[in-house]
Chain A
Amino acid sequence: MTSPYPLLAIVGILAGAMTLAASLVWLERRLLALWQDRYGPNRVGPFGLLQVVADAVKLLMKEDWIPPFADRAVFVLAPAIVMVTVLMSFAVLPIAPGFVVSDLNVAVLFFLGMSSLGVYSVVLAGWSSNNKYSLLGGLRASAQMISYEVFMGLSLMGTVLLAGSFRLSDIVEAQRRVWFVVPQFLGFVLFLIAGLAETRRLPFDLPEAESELVAGYHSEYSGLKFGMFFVGEYLGVVLISALVAILFFGGWLGPVLPPIIWLLLKTFVFICFFILLRASLPRPRFDQLMAWGWKLMLPVALANLLVTGAIVLASTG
Protein backbone atom coordinates (compact mmCIF):
# COMPACT_ATOMS: atom_id res chain seq x y z
CA MET A 1 0.00 0.00 0.00
CA THR A 2 1.47 3.25 -1.11
CA SER A 3 0.63 6.53 0.57
CA PRO A 4 -2.61 8.13 -0.61
CA TYR A 5 -0.81 11.45 -0.94
CA PRO A 6 2.54 10.49 -2.52
CA LEU A 7 3.68 14.08 -2.86
CA LEU A 8 3.07 14.71 0.83
CA ALA A 9 5.07 11.62 1.72
CA ILE A 10 7.93 12.63 -0.57
CA VAL A 11 8.14 16.16 0.80
CA GLY A 12 7.66 14.98 4.35
CA ILE A 13 10.34 12.32 4.22
CA LEU A 14 12.76 14.54 2.30
CA ALA A 15 12.34 17.46 4.67
CA GLY A 16 12.40 15.18 7.70
CA ALA A 17 15.52 13.34 6.61
CA MET A 18 17.39 16.52 5.72
CA THR A 19 16.46 18.26 8.97
CA LEU A 20 17.39 15.18 10.93
CA ALA A 21 20.72 14.87 9.14
CA ALA A 22 21.53 18.53 9.73
CA SER A 23 20.62 18.46 13.39
CA LEU A 24 22.67 15.29 13.73
CA VAL A 25 25.77 17.46 13.40
CA TRP A 26 24.74 19.22 16.57
CA LEU A 27 23.59 16.03 18.28
CA GLU A 28 26.80 14.23 17.47
CA ARG A 29 28.99 17.00 18.80
CA ARG A 30 26.95 17.33 21.97
CA LEU A 31 26.87 13.58 22.61
CA LEU A 32 30.56 13.12 21.89
CA ALA A 33 31.23 15.95 24.32
CA LEU A 34 28.96 14.35 26.90
CA TRP A 35 30.86 11.08 26.69
CA GLN A 36 34.18 12.88 26.85
CA ASP A 37 33.17 14.97 29.90
CA ARG A 38 32.92 18.19 27.90
CA TYR A 39 30.01 20.45 26.91
CA GLY A 40 30.24 20.70 23.14
CA PRO A 41 28.68 23.60 21.22
CA ASN A 42 26.41 25.38 23.70
CA ARG A 43 26.87 29.04 22.83
CA VAL A 44 24.85 29.66 19.66
CA GLY A 45 21.16 29.77 20.50
CA PRO A 46 19.40 27.58 23.08
CA PHE A 47 21.64 24.58 23.92
CA GLY A 48 23.79 25.58 20.95
CA LEU A 49 21.10 24.42 18.55
CA LEU A 50 21.74 27.27 16.13
CA GLN A 51 25.27 25.95 15.70
CA VAL A 52 23.85 24.00 12.77
CA VAL A 53 22.75 27.23 11.12
CA ALA A 54 26.11 28.83 11.78
CA ASP A 55 27.90 25.83 10.28
CA ALA A 56 25.64 25.86 7.23
CA VAL A 57 26.23 29.57 6.66
CA LYS A 58 29.96 29.01 7.02
CA LEU A 59 29.91 26.18 4.49
CA LEU A 60 27.87 28.28 2.04
CA MET A 61 30.24 31.22 2.31
CA LYS A 62 33.34 29.13 1.69
CA GLU A 63 35.14 29.30 -1.60
CA ASP A 64 33.93 26.50 -3.85
CA TRP A 65 37.33 25.47 -5.12
CA ILE A 66 37.89 23.00 -7.92
CA PRO A 67 41.58 22.16 -8.18
CA PRO A 68 43.04 22.79 -11.65
CA PHE A 69 44.47 19.26 -11.75
CA ALA A 70 41.11 17.63 -10.98
CA ASP A 71 38.89 15.85 -13.47
CA ARG A 72 36.27 18.58 -13.45
CA ALA A 73 33.09 16.81 -14.55
CA VAL A 74 33.57 13.79 -12.31
CA PHE A 75 34.75 15.98 -9.45
CA VAL A 76 31.46 17.90 -9.53
CA LEU A 77 29.36 14.79 -10.04
CA ALA A 78 30.76 12.73 -7.17
CA PRO A 79 29.20 14.59 -4.21
CA ALA A 80 25.81 14.56 -5.92
CA ILE A 81 25.88 10.77 -6.19
CA VAL A 82 26.18 10.22 -2.46
CA MET A 83 23.17 12.44 -1.77
CA VAL A 84 21.05 10.94 -4.52
CA THR A 85 21.70 7.31 -3.65
CA VAL A 86 21.10 7.77 0.06
CA LEU A 87 17.94 9.80 -0.51
CA MET A 88 16.68 7.17 -2.97
CA SER A 89 16.89 4.57 -0.21
CA PHE A 90 14.66 6.75 1.96
CA ALA A 91 11.93 6.28 -0.63
CA VAL A 92 11.34 2.68 0.41
CA LEU A 93 11.39 3.27 4.18
CA PRO A 94 7.94 2.69 5.70
CA ILE A 95 7.66 5.45 8.31
CA ALA A 96 4.16 4.45 9.42
CA PRO A 97 1.43 2.20 7.99
CA GLY A 98 0.68 3.67 4.58
CA PHE A 99 3.25 6.46 5.00
CA VAL A 100 5.90 5.51 2.47
CA VAL A 101 6.90 6.99 -0.86
CA SER A 102 7.10 3.69 -2.70
CA ASP A 103 6.26 0.42 -1.02
CA LEU A 104 8.41 -1.68 -3.36
CA ASN A 105 8.05 -5.45 -3.19
CA VAL A 106 11.88 -5.67 -3.43
CA ALA A 107 12.63 -2.84 -1.01
CA VAL A 108 15.48 -4.69 0.72
CA LEU A 109 17.19 -5.37 -2.60
CA PHE A 110 16.59 -1.78 -3.67
CA PHE A 111 18.29 -0.50 -0.54
CA LEU A 112 21.25 -2.86 -1.01
CA GLY A 113 21.58 -1.75 -4.62
CA MET A 114 21.43 1.92 -3.74
CA SER A 115 24.03 1.60 -1.00
CA SER A 116 26.29 -0.20 -3.48
CA LEU A 117 25.86 2.63 -5.95
CA GLY A 118 26.78 5.07 -3.21
CA VAL A 119 30.32 3.71 -3.29
CA TYR A 120 30.76 5.27 -6.71
CA SER A 121 30.56 8.68 -5.10
CA VAL A 122 33.55 7.97 -2.89
CA VAL A 123 35.57 6.15 -5.50
CA LEU A 124 34.96 8.80 -8.15
CA ALA A 125 35.70 11.60 -5.70
CA GLY A 126 38.98 9.94 -4.82
CA TRP A 127 39.84 9.32 -8.45
CA SER A 128 38.90 12.70 -9.88
CA SER A 129 40.68 14.64 -7.15
CA ASN A 130 43.95 13.51 -8.74
CA ASN A 131 45.59 13.46 -5.36
CA LYS A 132 47.31 10.43 -3.93
CA TYR A 133 45.66 10.64 -0.53
CA SER A 134 42.24 10.99 -2.10
CA LEU A 135 42.94 8.05 -4.36
CA LEU A 136 44.06 5.94 -1.42
CA GLY A 137 40.84 6.87 0.35
CA GLY A 138 38.80 5.92 -2.71
CA LEU A 139 40.64 2.61 -3.03
CA ARG A 140 40.05 1.79 0.61
CA ALA A 141 36.39 2.73 0.25
CA SER A 142 35.87 0.42 -2.71
CA ALA A 143 37.60 -2.51 -1.01
CA GLN A 144 35.75 -1.89 2.23
CA MET A 145 32.37 -1.59 0.54
CA ILE A 146 32.82 -4.75 -1.50
CA SER A 147 33.87 -6.76 1.54
CA TYR A 148 31.15 -5.50 3.82
CA GLU A 149 28.35 -5.38 1.28
CA VAL A 150 28.56 -9.13 0.80
CA PHE A 151 27.65 -10.08 4.32
CA MET A 152 25.38 -7.07 4.71
CA GLY A 153 23.09 -8.63 2.13
CA LEU A 154 23.49 -12.09 3.65
CA SER A 155 22.76 -10.82 7.15
CA LEU A 156 19.40 -9.48 5.94
CA MET A 157 18.37 -12.70 4.26
CA GLY A 158 17.51 -14.26 7.61
CA THR A 159 14.84 -11.65 8.29
CA VAL A 160 13.61 -11.94 4.73
CA LEU A 161 13.28 -15.70 5.19
CA LEU A 162 11.34 -15.26 8.42
CA ALA A 163 9.03 -12.60 6.99
CA GLY A 164 8.72 -14.31 3.63
CA SER A 165 8.90 -10.99 1.82
CA PHE A 166 11.37 -8.40 0.57
CA ARG A 167 8.80 -5.67 1.24
CA LEU A 168 9.76 -3.62 4.28
CA SER A 169 6.20 -3.05 5.47
CA ASP A 170 5.61 -6.81 5.34
CA ILE A 171 8.76 -7.34 7.37
CA VAL A 172 7.47 -4.88 9.98
CA GLU A 173 4.07 -6.56 10.09
CA ALA A 174 5.75 -9.97 10.49
CA GLN A 175 7.23 -8.73 13.78
CA ARG A 176 3.88 -8.29 15.53
CA ARG A 177 4.53 -11.36 17.69
CA VAL A 178 8.23 -10.96 18.36
CA TRP A 179 10.86 -8.54 17.08
CA PHE A 180 13.31 -10.10 14.67
CA VAL A 181 16.20 -9.12 16.91
CA VAL A 182 15.36 -12.19 19.03
CA PRO A 183 15.46 -14.95 16.39
CA GLN A 184 17.95 -13.06 14.23
CA PHE A 185 20.29 -11.64 16.85
CA LEU A 186 23.35 -12.62 14.84
CA GLY A 187 21.85 -11.04 11.74
CA PHE A 188 21.23 -7.86 13.73
CA VAL A 189 24.82 -7.63 14.93
CA LEU A 190 26.17 -8.36 11.46
CA PHE A 191 23.90 -5.78 9.85
CA LEU A 192 24.86 -3.18 12.43
CA ILE A 193 28.56 -3.68 11.74
CA ALA A 194 28.07 -3.76 7.98
CA GLY A 195 25.87 -0.67 8.15
CA LEU A 196 28.55 1.12 10.12
CA ALA A 197 31.05 0.23 7.41
CA GLU A 198 28.60 1.30 4.70
CA THR A 199 28.22 4.76 6.15
CA ARG A 200 32.00 5.03 6.52
CA ARG A 201 31.54 6.05 10.13
CA LEU A 202 34.10 5.57 12.83
CA PRO A 203 35.50 3.01 13.60
CA PHE A 204 35.22 2.15 9.89
CA ASP A 205 36.23 5.55 8.54
CA LEU A 206 39.32 4.24 6.79
CA PRO A 207 38.45 6.04 3.53
CA GLU A 208 38.75 9.32 5.47
CA ALA A 209 41.26 8.43 8.17
CA GLU A 210 42.29 11.96 9.12
CA SER A 211 45.42 10.76 10.84
CA GLU A 212 46.71 8.94 7.75
CA LEU A 213 45.10 10.38 4.62
CA VAL A 214 44.50 14.10 5.39
CA ALA A 215 40.74 13.74 4.79
CA GLY A 216 40.81 10.81 2.40
CA TYR A 217 38.53 10.96 -0.59
CA HIS A 218 37.25 14.46 0.17
CA SER A 219 40.60 16.12 0.83
CA GLU A 220 40.19 18.40 -2.17
CA TYR A 221 36.56 19.31 -1.56
CA SER A 222 35.39 22.54 -0.02
CA GLY A 223 32.26 24.57 0.45
CA LEU A 224 28.95 23.08 -0.49
CA LYS A 225 30.45 20.04 -2.21
CA PHE A 226 32.14 19.04 1.01
CA GLY A 227 28.86 19.81 2.74
CA MET A 228 27.12 17.29 0.51
CA PHE A 229 29.54 14.54 1.53
CA PHE A 230 29.00 15.59 5.10
CA VAL A 231 25.21 15.57 4.90
CA GLY A 232 25.35 12.37 2.87
CA GLU A 233 27.23 10.66 5.67
CA TYR A 234 24.70 11.78 8.27
CA LEU A 235 21.82 10.80 5.99
CA GLY A 236 23.46 7.39 5.80
CA VAL A 237 23.53 7.20 9.59
CA VAL A 238 19.83 8.04 9.75
CA LEU A 239 19.08 5.52 7.02
CA ILE A 240 20.97 2.65 8.62
CA SER A 241 19.51 3.42 12.05
CA ALA A 242 16.00 3.52 10.61
CA LEU A 243 16.62 0.26 8.78
CA VAL A 244 17.88 -1.45 11.91
CA ALA A 245 14.74 -0.28 13.67
CA ILE A 246 12.51 -1.46 10.82
CA LEU A 247 14.19 -4.79 10.13
CA PHE A 248 14.99 -5.95 13.64
CA PHE A 249 13.07 -3.83 16.16
CA GLY A 250 9.57 -3.86 14.79
CA GLY A 251 9.64 -0.53 12.97
CA TRP A 252 6.55 1.48 13.83
CA LEU A 253 5.08 -1.25 16.07
CA GLY A 254 4.63 -0.28 19.69
CA PRO A 255 1.92 0.44 22.25
CA VAL A 256 0.21 3.75 23.09
CA LEU A 257 2.31 6.19 21.05
CA PRO A 258 1.53 6.79 17.36
CA PRO A 259 3.51 4.59 14.95
CA ILE A 260 5.64 7.40 13.53
CA ILE A 261 6.85 8.35 17.01
CA TRP A 262 7.82 4.75 17.70
CA LEU A 263 9.92 4.54 14.56
CA LEU A 264 11.58 7.89 15.28
CA LEU A 265 12.34 6.84 18.85
CA LYS A 266 13.90 3.56 17.79
CA THR A 267 15.87 5.29 15.06
CA PHE A 268 17.08 7.89 17.55
CA VAL A 269 18.37 5.21 19.91
CA PHE A 270 20.43 3.67 17.13
CA ILE A 271 21.74 7.02 15.97
CA CYS A 272 22.93 7.61 19.53
CA PHE A 273 24.49 4.16 19.54
CA PHE A 274 26.38 4.98 16.33
CA ILE A 275 27.72 8.11 17.97
CA LEU A 276 28.65 6.13 21.08
CA LEU A 277 30.65 3.76 18.90
CA ARG A 278 32.44 6.73 17.42
CA ALA A 279 33.23 8.01 20.90
CA SER A 280 34.66 4.72 22.12
CA LEU A 281 36.28 2.65 19.38
CA PRO A 282 39.62 3.15 17.64
CA ARG A 283 40.02 2.69 13.90
CA PRO A 284 41.32 -0.78 12.90
CA ARG A 285 44.21 -1.24 10.55
CA PHE A 286 43.17 -1.80 6.95
CA ASP A 287 44.26 -5.44 6.71
CA GLN A 288 42.52 -6.14 10.02
CA LEU A 289 39.35 -4.68 8.55
CA MET A 290 39.61 -6.89 5.48
CA ALA A 291 40.45 -10.01 7.46
CA TRP A 292 37.50 -9.37 9.75
CA GLY A 293 35.11 -8.93 6.88
CA TRP A 294 36.11 -11.97 4.87
CA LYS A 295 37.32 -14.44 7.48
CA LEU A 296 34.92 -13.78 10.32
CA MET A 297 31.81 -11.88 9.31
CA LEU A 298 31.16 -13.62 6.01
CA PRO A 299 31.32 -17.20 7.39
CA VAL A 300 29.17 -16.19 10.37
CA ALA A 301 26.61 -14.60 8.06
CA LEU A 302 26.54 -17.71 5.89
CA ALA A 303 26.14 -19.98 8.88
CA ASN A 304 23.35 -17.78 10.20
CA LEU A 305 21.57 -17.94 6.86
CA LEU A 306 22.02 -21.73 6.70
CA VAL A 307 20.63 -22.35 10.19
CA THR A 308 17.73 -19.92 9.70
CA GLY A 309 16.90 -21.51 6.37
CA ALA A 310 16.97 -25.00 7.86
CA ILE A 311 14.71 -24.00 10.75
CA VAL A 312 12.25 -22.18 8.46
CA LEU A 313 12.21 -25.18 6.14
CA ALA A 314 11.69 -27.61 9.00
CA SER A 315 8.89 -25.60 10.60
CA THR A 316 6.97 -25.06 7.36
CA GLY A 317 7.97 -28.37 5.80
Chain B
Amino acid sequence: MLSVLRTIWNVFLHMFQPRVTVQYPDERAYLAPRYRGRIILSRDPDGGERCVACYLCAVACPVDCIALQATEDKSGRRYPEFFRINFSRCIFCGLCEEACPTYAIQLTPDVEMGEYDRRKLVYEKEDLLIDGVGKYPGYNFWRVAGVEIGGKGKGQSEREERPTDIHSLMPRDPMPG
Protein backbone atom coordinates (compact mmCIF):
# COMPACT_ATOMS: atom_id res chain seq x y z
CA MET B 1 0.00 0.00 0.00
CA LEU B 2 2.78 2.37 0.96
CA SER B 3 4.68 1.36 -2.16
CA VAL B 4 1.68 2.40 -4.26
CA LEU B 5 1.71 5.87 -2.76
CA ARG B 6 5.45 6.11 -3.15
CA THR B 7 5.15 5.11 -6.80
CA ILE B 8 2.56 7.80 -7.42
CA TRP B 9 4.74 10.39 -5.72
CA ASN B 10 7.85 9.36 -7.64
CA VAL B 11 6.02 9.54 -10.94
CA PHE B 12 4.71 12.95 -9.96
CA LEU B 13 8.24 14.16 -9.29
CA HIS B 14 9.16 13.29 -12.86
CA MET B 15 7.30 16.46 -13.80
CA PHE B 16 10.44 18.37 -12.85
CA GLN B 17 12.88 16.16 -14.72
CA PRO B 18 14.31 17.25 -18.05
CA ARG B 19 12.65 15.58 -21.01
CA VAL B 20 14.68 13.11 -22.97
CA THR B 21 12.98 13.59 -26.33
CA VAL B 22 15.12 15.02 -29.12
CA GLN B 23 12.68 17.07 -31.23
CA TYR B 24 14.02 15.62 -34.42
CA PRO B 25 13.55 17.97 -37.33
CA ASP B 26 14.32 20.94 -35.08
CA GLU B 27 17.11 19.39 -33.06
CA ARG B 28 19.27 16.52 -34.18
CA ALA B 29 20.81 13.76 -32.16
CA TYR B 30 24.60 13.36 -32.40
CA LEU B 31 25.59 10.51 -34.69
CA ALA B 32 29.04 9.07 -34.03
CA PRO B 33 31.54 9.05 -36.93
CA ARG B 34 31.35 5.26 -36.98
CA TYR B 35 27.53 5.29 -37.11
CA ARG B 36 26.21 2.83 -39.70
CA GLY B 37 24.19 4.95 -42.12
CA ARG B 38 24.21 5.67 -45.84
CA ILE B 39 26.85 3.66 -47.70
CA ILE B 40 29.45 5.42 -49.85
CA LEU B 41 32.37 4.42 -52.07
CA SER B 42 35.54 6.33 -51.26
CA ARG B 43 38.55 7.29 -53.37
CA ASP B 44 42.32 7.07 -53.04
CA PRO B 45 44.21 10.11 -51.80
CA ASP B 46 45.17 10.71 -55.44
CA GLY B 47 41.61 10.54 -56.62
CA GLY B 48 41.32 7.05 -58.12
CA GLU B 49 38.52 4.70 -57.23
CA ARG B 50 39.42 2.47 -54.32
CA CYS B 51 37.01 -0.30 -55.25
CA VAL B 52 38.73 -3.21 -56.97
CA ALA B 53 35.46 -5.04 -57.73
CA CYS B 54 36.38 -8.14 -55.74
CA TYR B 55 32.70 -8.91 -54.98
CA LEU B 56 33.44 -9.56 -51.31
CA CYS B 57 30.88 -6.96 -50.22
CA ALA B 58 28.22 -8.48 -52.43
CA VAL B 59 29.03 -11.91 -51.00
CA ALA B 60 29.00 -10.70 -47.42
CA CYS B 61 25.74 -8.81 -47.81
CA PRO B 62 23.06 -10.83 -45.97
CA VAL B 63 20.22 -9.28 -47.93
CA ASP B 64 21.89 -9.27 -51.33
CA CYS B 65 21.40 -5.59 -51.88
CA ILE B 66 24.76 -4.98 -53.58
CA ALA B 67 25.23 -5.68 -57.27
CA LEU B 68 28.36 -4.93 -59.29
CA GLN B 69 30.28 -5.96 -62.39
CA ALA B 70 34.08 -6.08 -62.44
CA THR B 71 36.11 -4.80 -65.34
CA GLU B 72 39.72 -3.67 -65.99
CA ASP B 73 41.10 -0.50 -67.39
CA LYS B 74 44.06 -0.36 -69.83
CA SER B 75 46.62 -0.22 -67.04
CA GLY B 76 45.32 -3.48 -65.58
CA ARG B 77 43.58 -1.83 -62.69
CA ARG B 78 40.33 -3.54 -61.69
CA TYR B 79 37.27 -1.40 -61.04
CA PRO B 80 33.51 -1.92 -61.06
CA GLU B 81 31.79 -1.30 -64.35
CA PHE B 82 28.62 -0.60 -62.40
CA PHE B 83 28.04 -0.66 -58.69
CA ARG B 84 24.49 -0.65 -57.42
CA ILE B 85 23.10 -0.69 -53.87
CA ASN B 86 19.40 -1.17 -53.31
CA PHE B 87 18.83 0.79 -50.13
CA SER B 88 15.27 -0.38 -49.81
CA ARG B 89 16.78 -3.76 -48.95
CA CYS B 90 19.89 -2.65 -47.11
CA ILE B 91 19.79 -3.30 -43.36
CA PHE B 92 22.87 -1.19 -42.60
CA CYS B 93 24.64 -4.09 -40.90
CA GLY B 94 28.09 -2.93 -42.00
CA LEU B 95 29.24 -6.39 -43.11
CA CYS B 96 30.19 -5.00 -46.54
CA GLU B 97 32.49 -2.49 -44.88
CA GLU B 98 34.11 -5.25 -42.82
CA ALA B 99 34.56 -7.45 -45.86
CA CYS B 100 36.10 -4.75 -48.04
CA PRO B 101 39.87 -5.33 -48.48
CA THR B 102 40.54 -1.83 -49.81
CA TYR B 103 38.48 0.40 -47.45
CA ALA B 104 36.46 1.40 -50.49
CA ILE B 105 32.96 0.79 -49.18
CA GLN B 106 32.17 2.67 -45.98
CA LEU B 107 29.11 3.47 -43.90
CA THR B 108 28.53 7.10 -42.95
CA PRO B 109 26.56 8.84 -40.18
CA ASP B 110 23.74 9.95 -42.46
CA VAL B 111 20.27 8.50 -42.06
CA GLU B 112 18.12 11.00 -43.91
CA MET B 113 17.49 9.16 -47.13
CA GLY B 114 13.71 8.80 -47.14
CA GLU B 115 12.02 8.75 -50.55
CA TYR B 116 8.45 8.65 -51.78
CA ASP B 117 9.41 6.60 -54.82
CA ARG B 118 10.91 3.22 -54.03
CA ARG B 119 12.98 3.17 -57.19
CA LYS B 120 14.86 6.25 -56.05
CA LEU B 121 16.39 4.11 -53.32
CA VAL B 122 18.49 2.23 -55.85
CA TYR B 123 21.81 4.09 -55.81
CA GLU B 124 24.17 3.79 -58.78
CA LYS B 125 27.94 4.19 -58.70
CA GLU B 126 27.79 7.92 -59.39
CA ASP B 127 25.47 8.32 -56.39
CA LEU B 128 27.74 6.29 -54.15
CA LEU B 129 31.19 7.60 -55.10
CA ILE B 130 32.44 10.48 -53.03
CA ASP B 131 35.45 12.67 -53.71
CA GLY B 132 37.22 11.92 -50.44
CA VAL B 133 38.97 9.17 -48.54
CA GLY B 134 36.28 8.68 -45.92
CA LYS B 135 37.44 7.28 -42.61
CA TYR B 136 40.89 6.15 -43.84
CA PRO B 137 43.07 9.05 -44.98
CA GLY B 138 46.35 8.23 -46.71
CA TYR B 139 45.53 4.67 -47.62
CA ASN B 140 46.07 3.71 -51.22
CA PHE B 141 45.50 0.09 -52.07
CA TRP B 142 47.36 0.12 -55.38
CA ARG B 143 50.39 1.68 -53.72
CA VAL B 144 50.81 -1.21 -51.28
CA ALA B 145 49.46 -4.13 -53.29
CA GLY B 146 52.05 -6.27 -55.01
CA VAL B 147 50.15 -6.25 -58.24
CA GLU B 148 51.59 -5.11 -61.51
CA ILE B 149 49.62 -2.30 -63.03
CA GLY B 150 50.46 0.29 -65.62
CA GLY B 151 53.28 2.54 -64.37
CA LYS B 152 54.20 0.27 -61.46
CA GLY B 153 56.08 -2.96 -61.93
CA LYS B 154 56.78 -5.88 -59.61
CA GLY B 155 58.69 -4.89 -56.53
CA GLN B 156 57.88 -1.21 -56.84
CA SER B 157 55.15 -1.08 -54.26
CA GLU B 158 55.67 0.44 -50.83
CA ARG B 159 57.59 -1.88 -48.48
CA GLU B 160 57.77 -4.50 -51.21
CA GLU B 161 61.00 -6.35 -51.93
CA ARG B 162 62.22 -6.90 -55.43
CA PRO B 163 61.03 -10.21 -56.90
CA THR B 164 63.44 -13.12 -56.69
CA ASP B 165 65.24 -13.96 -59.91
CA ILE B 166 64.40 -17.65 -60.19
CA HIS B 167 66.91 -18.19 -62.97
CA SER B 168 69.83 -17.15 -60.80
CA LEU B 169 71.81 -19.68 -58.76
CA MET B 170 73.14 -17.03 -56.41
CA PRO B 171 71.59 -16.48 -53.01
CA ARG B 172 69.43 -13.42 -52.61
CA ASP B 173 71.37 -10.22 -52.62
CA PRO B 174 71.18 -9.11 -48.99
CA MET B 175 71.81 -5.50 -49.97
CA PRO B 176 70.00 -4.81 -53.20
CA GLY B 177 70.51 -1.65 -55.15
Judge if B12 is at the interface, Cβ distance under 8 Å.
yes
A69-107 CB mask vs B (1 if < 8 Å, else 0) is 000000000000000000000000000000000000000
Cβ-neighbour of A37 out of B10, B12, B20 (below 8 A):
B20
- Measured CB to CB, the nearest residue on chain B to A277 is B8
Cross-chain contact B14 with A37 (CB below 8 angstroms): yes
If A34-B15, A35-B14, A36-B14 touch, whether A276 touches B20 (CB-CB below 8 Å) is: no
Cross-chain contact B7 with A37 (CB below 8 angstroms): no
Judge if B166 is at the interface, Cβ distance under 8 Å.
no
Q: Whole-angstrom distance between the alpha carbons of A167 and B20 in the complex?
A: 49
Judge if A279 is at the interface, Cβ distance under 8 Å.
yes
Judge if A38 is at the interface, Cβ distance under 8 Å.
yes
If A39-B23, A281-B4 touch, whether A276 touches B17 (CB-CB below 8 Å) is: no
Cross-chain contact A276 with B23 (CB below 8 angstroms): no
Judge if B11 is at the interface, Cβ distance under 8 Å.
yes
Name the A residues within 8 Å of B20 (CB-CB): 37-38
Instruction: Give the residues from 1 to 51 in chain B that come closer than 8 angstroms, CB to CB, to chain A.
Output: 4, 7-8, 10-12, 14-15, 17-21, 23
Cross-chain contact A280 with B10 (CB below 8 angstroms): yes
Cβ-neighbour of A39 out of B4, B8, B15, B19 (below 8 A):
B19
- Measured CB to CB, the nearest residue on chain A to B8 is A280
Q: Whole-angstrom distance between the alpha carbons of A39 and B26 in the complex?
A: 14
Q: Is the interface of A mostly helix, strand, loop or mixed?
A: helix
Cβ-neighbour of B7 out of A36, A38, A281 (below 8 A):
A281
Cβ-neighbour of B19 out of A37, A277, A280, A281 (below 8 A):
A37
Cross-chain contact B11 with A280 (CB below 8 angstroms): yes
Cβ-neighbour of B18 out of A33, A37, A277, A279 (below 8 A):
A37
Name the B residues within 8 Å of A276 (CB-CB): 8, 11-12
Residues of A in contact (CB 8 Å), total 12
Name the A residues within 8 Å of B23 (CB-CB): 39
Cβ-neighbour of A38 out of B4, B10, B21 (below 8 A):
B21
Name the A residues within 8 Å of B7 (CB-CB): 280-281
Q: Whole-angstrom distance between the alpha carbons of A77 and B19 in the complex?
A: 43
Name the B residues within 8 Å of A280 (CB-CB): 7-8, 10-12
Name the B residues within 8 Å of A35 (CB-CB): 11-12, 14-15
Name the A residues within 8 Å of B4 (CB-CB): 281
Cross-chain contact B21 with A39 (CB below 8 angstroms): yes
Q: How distant is B17 from chain A, measured CB to nearest CB, in Å?
A: 5
- Measured CB to CB, the nearest residue on chain B to A203 is B4
Cross-chain contact A37 with B17 (CB below 8 angstroms): yes
- Measured CB to CB, the nearest residue on chain B to A272 is B12
Q: Whole-angstrom distance between the alpha carbons of A214 and B91 in the complex?
A: 31
Cross-chain contact B12 with A281 (CB below 8 angstroms): no
Q: Whole-angstrom distance between the alpha carbons of A81 and B29 in the complex?
A: 48
Name the A residues within 8 Å of B17 (CB-CB): 37
Q: How distant is A38 from chain B, measured CB to nearest CB, in Å?
A: 5
A272-289 CB mask vs B (1 if < 8 Å, else 0) is 000011011100000000
Q: Whole-angstrom distance between the alpha carbons of A71 and B8 in the complex?
A: 42
Interface centre among B7, B11, B17, B20 (most CB of A within 10 A): B11
- Measured CB to CB, the nearest residue on chain A to B14 is A35
Q: Whole-angstrom distance between the alpha carbons of A33 and B21 in the complex?
A: 10
Name the A residues within 8 Å of B21 (CB-CB): 37-39
Q: Whole-angstrom distance between the alpha carbons of A35 and B4 in the complex?
A: 16
Instruction: Give 4 closest A-B pairs by Cβ, nearest first.
Output: A280-B11, A280-B8, A35-B14, A280-B7
What are 18 of the A-B contact pairs (CB < 8 Å)?
A33-B19, A34-B15, A35-B11, A35-B12, A35-B14, A35-B15, A37-B17, A38-B19, A38-B20, A38-B21, A39-B19, A39-B21, A39-B23, A276-B11, A280-B7, A280-B8, A281-B4, A281-B7
Other CB < 8 Å A-B pairs besides A37-B17, A276-B11, A280-B8, 14 of them?
A: A34-B14, A35-B11, A35-B12, A35-B14, A35-B15, A36-B14, A37-B14, A37-B18, A37-B20, A39-B19, A39-B21, A39-B23, A280-B7, A281-B7
